[in-house]
Amino acid sequence: MTIIWTIIIGFMVGLIARALMPGKDAAGFIITTLLGIAGAMLGHFIGRTLGFYPEGGAGGIVLSIIGAVLLLLGYRYMAPLTSTGRA
């Protein structure tokens, strides 16, 4: 049951991150969900590093969204370089 909640929460975090940064990306359900899950992991890592969360504690939704937005920024920065063939 935990994996189902991870997918649901990851999808919601990915949707919120994409809503905060509107733009043209061809990201469907799977990419949005992976963005949200990876953003939650990054946000939790940042929160633990800064001392916001105890070791083994649950992460917060705000830092999850911030992590997803950071990943989306990185993706949008790298995407034009890979789509035109320039390195």
39, 17 contact by CB (below 8 A): yes
Using CA atoms, how far apart are residues 66 and 36, in angstroms rounded to an integer?
10
- pLDDT per residue of the chain (87 residues) written in tens, 0 to 9: 677 887 888 888 888 888 888 777 666 778 888 888 888 888 888 888 888 877 766 677 888 888 888 888 888 887 666 555 555
Q: Which of the 8 DSSP states describes residue 53?
A: S
> How far apart (Å, rounded) are the C-alpha atoms in residues 78 and 7?
25
pTM (predicted TM-score): 0.74
